[in-house]
Amino acid sequence: MQRLSTLDRFLPVWIIAAMVIGLALGRLVPGLDDALSAVEIGSVSLPIAVGLLVMMYPVLAKVRYDELGHVTADRRLLVGSIVLNWLVGPAVMFALAWLLLPDLPAYRTGLIIVGLARCIAMVLIWNDLACGDREAAAILVAINSVFQIVAFAFLGWFYLSVLPGWLGLGGGSADGESLDISTWQIAKSVLVFLGIPLVAGFLTRTLGERSWGRERYESQVLPRIGPAALYGLLFTIVVLFALQGDTITSKPLDVARIALPLLAYFAVMFACGFGLGRALGLGYARTTTLAFTAAGNNFELAIAVAIGVFGVASGQALAGVVGPLIEVPVLVGLVYVSLWVKRAAYDLPRTHGGVE
């Protein structure tokens, strides 16, 4: 702890402060949300887009791209991630939304959309903080991106229109509406929020190692650009909550109702990811990566879809906005849970002559 920078050591404090500042700005500054939303990239506010790109670039510059082949050779990790993200995750959110919000169809629909939007951005930060496998995270995020493009619209139709009818639950979405979003809208989001920082990170790593060598690049260059990831994270949180501060603070009871299934979802998915990783014998780093990629969600896509389909003032949009309100502090807490598990279940057995 003594060797950590002030930024790293007190990160939970800064994140909570960023959330409070964002909520206060959104509540107290008239017209701020309209100003922040005036310019958009891929249906996402320009300030949020900038924050996400700044946040992801340093993490992707840390990835050793020449070692990705070792990750892709691990079929246990790849298959486990696909099952958790695209079979288990949406089904768990669907079940929780119907179980805990049976009387609130708009919020229920918003949560189901959140469950379909698998994480491709912020999960890299949580994985890095928890000492997960960076190369594995890059591969799993890329897989999620591909599946997001080809499967999001189909799964939205299935979980909102088809499955509720099969189960005798009635229409899944409010007023009988179905999820109508083009593949290009999703692909554009992926290209912007993953493609740009991925190319920048790859070029930085490749050219940096070519100029200074790997040891010098990792010991001198990465420490200089690394803090930008956390600054980008804090900036993104401030802007995100400023955009929806008035909406969130004006409906506290609704936020509490939406928060309950989200809390259950993050806990269940993280536990499933960690449990599966342990059962498959993936080791701490890849188990952590599997757990965080299973628990995290692509909030920017979920919010953009909810607003685009149902409107900015809709209950579906509010549910999407509450997603990061709950996800950010919960996943920060799970970073510390992961590190505790690392010490208790992985480091200590090796220290005393056990096996991992």
Domain for residue 308, yes or no? yes
pLDDT at 356: 42
Q: Return the HEC string of the chain.
A: CCCCCHHHHCHHHHHHHHHHHHHHHHHHCCCHHHHHCCCEECCEEHHHHHHHHHHHHHHHHHCCHHHHHHHHCCHHHHHHHHHHHHHHHHHHHHHHHHHHCCCCHHHHHHHHHHHHCECCCCHHHHHHHCCCCHHHHHHHHHHHHHHHHHHHHHHHHHHHHHHHHHCCCCCCCHHHCCCCCCHHHHHHHHHHHHHHHHHHHHHHHHHHHHHHCHHHHHHHHHHHHCHHHHHHHHHHHHHHHHHHHHHHHHCHHHHHHHHHHHHHHHHHHHHHHHHHHHHHCCHHHHHHHHHHHHHCECHHHHHHHHHHHHCCCCHHHHHHHHHHHHHHHHHHHHHHHHHHHHHHHHHHHHHCCCCC
Domain for residue 34, yes or no? no
pLDDT at 351: 44
To the question of pTM greater than 0.75 for the whole model, the response is yes
CA distances to 86, 137, 214, 249, 250 from 116, rounded to whole Å, are 8, 19, 38, 26, 27
pLDDT at 73: 82
Query: Which range marks the domain in which residue 294 is found?
Result: 41-344
Supply the CATH number for residue 91's domain: 1.20.1530.20
CB contact at 8 A, 196 and 54: no
Q: Which residues of the chain have pLDDT under 50?
A: 1, 172-176, 351-356
86, 88, 93, 98: CA torsion to nearest 10: 120
For 68-123, what is each residue's pLDDT tens digit?
888 888 899 999 999 999 999 999 999 999 999 999 999 999 999 999 988 877 78
For residue 4, the tally of other CB atoms under 10 A from its CB is: 10
Domain for residue 349, yes or no? no
pLDDT at 173: 45
Domain for residue 32, yes or no? no
Domain for residue 171, yes or no? yes
Which residues lie below 8 Å from residue 29, measured CB to CB, with a gap of 6+? 242
pLDDT at 294: 95
pLDDT at 353: 42
CB contact at 8 A, 85 and 118: yes
pLDDT at 33: 73
pLDDT at 320: 85
CA angle 98, 242, 253 (to 5 degrees): 35
The b-or-e profile of 322-336 (16+ CB within 10 A means b, else e) is bbbbbbbebbbebbe
Nearest CA to 200 out of 223, 218, 231, 225 is that of: 225
pLDDT at 86: 95
Domain for residue 125, yes or no? yes
Which residues lie below 8 Å from residue 168, measured CB to CB, with a gap of 6+? none
Domain for residue 149, yes or no? yes
pLDDT at 355: 41
* Domain count within the chain: 1
Per the structure block, which two tokens stand in for 54? 């700044």
Domain for residue 85, yes or no? yes
For 3-45, what is each residue's pLDDT tens digit?
556 666 677 788 889 888 988 888 888 887 778 777 776 566 7
For residue 115, the tally of other CB atoms under 10 A from its CB is: 26
